[in-house]
């Protein structure tokens, strides 16, 4: 029987980082992953450049950038392992990086740089990594610790760490195994749903906008009532099936089924004033004037829906002009759904934080730990989810005891 101080299930961002931390503390650590490749989510993130953290994260107010039934849960880990701590590690490994905008840090070359760094940290800690190894059963032992039945034989461990991520992007190996294990040991789950995901629309109402697929523009986007309103100023991307881009991904984590979203398609422009001005001074077609204020394809799509707008500016009725300005600066629409887990960057919900220690990530089930996305902690787009992976993994890796201690 293979005996270990700690077995970590999941060789992604959180699992590999935790293994390196614990291994370098002298623990005998095994990492298991059912996939043949490690860290696939890192590999495809940030367009292949991995947005590995966000410099603007405020650990004193994590609820600002994280979604959870208890947003304060993540404060302890995030304040003990900050973006600067991870930046220091990246620099120690000689990885070149740059800031894109809003504090988002990306590798200059490739996400592979981060994967190689994590594997080097594991190697420095003498960590053993077994890929293509599925866990078939887990049993808590009467004397403490866990016995695992795996596709590569039995394993026994003092501590078991679940770092299996969420349900998003099943084509790279995502499964619900971590949630099933939590349920097996009586831990509570918060309902899961796709987050940071494109929103979809269907039916005749969307037909005029499907032709805008590929068009990107900066917008203001919001959802929720006055009390719970969330607003982002980010880019929007029209797709054949609906809306995507950073602004939509951000708002999708707050959007609820059946709720409306509101878009200002010209956030830098006072559209009522500019259109009224055009009506007084310009003899051009309204569509041509509008195309100086918003992308021309967008102008065509809106003007094309209303014959009253397909005139020279002085001839457009005041009411039609006012309605156009309102529609573009406060477009209210109701998504029919989202692209789901196949396109979602993260999974909202997960293991209930009430059943996990914010200091150590140990659950109420002794010796069983949960880190990263599998917990009910979800960050904004822009490197926040990776920082939660590093911070929760560090908290766990520092807390794991050696067998017999």
Percent of the chain at pLDDT above 90?
94
The three-state secondary structure class of 214 is: coil
Band of residue 405 on the pLDDT scale cut at 50, 70, 90: low
The three-state secondary structure class of 122 is: helix
Residues 5, 402: contact at Cβ < 8 Å? yes
Burial profile 4-26: b = 16 or more Cβ within 10 angstroms, e = fewer: bbbbbbbbbbbbbbbbbbbbbbe
Distance separating alpha carbons of residues 254 and 338, to the nearest angstrom: 12
Residue 1 has pLDDT above 70, yes or no: no
Mean pLDDT across the chain: 96
Residues 372, 12: contact at Cβ < 8 Å? yes
Distance separating alpha carbons of residues 217 and 385, to the nearest angstrom: 25
pTM comes to: 0.96
According to DSSP, the residues that pair with 129 across neighbouring strands are 31
Band of residue 63 on the pLDDT scale cut at 50, 70, 90: confident
Residue 241 has pLDDT above 70, yes or no: yes
Hey, what domains does the chain have and what are their CATH numbers?
2-194+346-399 (3.50.50.60), 198-339 (2.40.30.10)
Q: Which residue has the higher pLDDT, 203 or 354?
A: 354
Strands 199-200 vs 216-223: parallel, antiparallel or unpaired: unpaired
According to DSSP, the residues that pair with 84 across neighbouring strands are none
Residue 257 has pLDDT above 90, yes or no: yes
Q: What is the pLDDT of residues 189-207, one digit of tens each?
A: 999 999 999 999 987 889 8
Q: What is the pLDDT of residues 322-350, one digit of tens each?
A: 999 999 999 999 999 999 999 999 999 99
Q: What is the pLDDT of residues 13-60, one digit of tens each?
A: 999 999 999 999 999 999 999 999 999 999 999 999 999 999 999 988
Q: Is 246 exposed, middle or buried (0-12, 13-18, 19+ CB in 10 A)?
A: buried
């Amino acid at each position: 029987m293979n005996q270990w101080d700690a077995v970590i299930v999941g060789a992604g961002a959180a699992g590999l980082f935790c293994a390196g931390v614990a291994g370098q503390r002298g623990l005998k650590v095994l990492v298991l992953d059912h996939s043949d490749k490690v860290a696939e989510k890192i590999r495809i993130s940030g367009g292949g450049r991995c947005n590995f953290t966000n410099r603007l994260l405020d650990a004193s107010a994590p609820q600002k950038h994280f979604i959870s039934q208890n947003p304060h849960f993540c404060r302890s880990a995030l304040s003990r392992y900050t973006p600067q701590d991870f930046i220091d590690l990246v620099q120690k490994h000689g990885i070149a990086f740059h800031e894109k905008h809003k504090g988002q840090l990306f590798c200059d070359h490739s996400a592979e740089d981060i994967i190689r760094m994590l594997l080097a940290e594991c190697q420095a800690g003498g960590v053993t990594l077994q890929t293509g190894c599925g866990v078939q059963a887990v049993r808590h032992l009467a004397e403490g610790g866990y016995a695992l039945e795996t596709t590569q034989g039995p394993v026994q461990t003092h501590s078991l760490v679940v770092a299996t991520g969420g349900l998003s992007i099943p084509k790279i190996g995502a499964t619900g195994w971590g949630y099933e294990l939590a349920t097996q040991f009586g831990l509570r789950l918060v309902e899961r749903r796709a987050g940071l995901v494109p929103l979809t629309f269907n039916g005749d109402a969307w037909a005029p906008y499907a032709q805008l697929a590929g068009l990107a523009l900066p917008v203001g986007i919001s959802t929720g009532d006055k009390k719970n309103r969330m607003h982002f100023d980010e880019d929007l991307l029209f797709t054949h099936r609906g809306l995507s881009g950073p602004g939509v991904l951000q708002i999708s984590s707050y959007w609820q089924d059946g709720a409306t979203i509101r878009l200002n398609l010209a956030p830098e422009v006072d559209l009522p004033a500019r259109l009224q001005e055009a009506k007084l001074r310009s003899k051009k077609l309204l569509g041509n004037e509008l195309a100086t204020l918003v992308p021309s394809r967008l102008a065509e799509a809106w003007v094309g829906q209303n014959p009253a707008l397909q005139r020279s500016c002085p001839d457009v009725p005041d009411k039609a002009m006012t309605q156009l300005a309102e529609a573009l600066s406060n477009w209210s629409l109701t998504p029919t759904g989202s692209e789901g887990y196949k396109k979602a960057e993260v999974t909202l919900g997960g293991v209930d934080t009430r059943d996990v220690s914010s200091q150590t990530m140990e659950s109420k089930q002794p010796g069983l730990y949960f880190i990263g996305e599998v917990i009910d902690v979800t960050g904004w787009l822009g490197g926040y989810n990776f920082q939660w992976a590093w911070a929760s993994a560090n908290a766990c890796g520092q807390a794991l005891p050696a067998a017999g201690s």
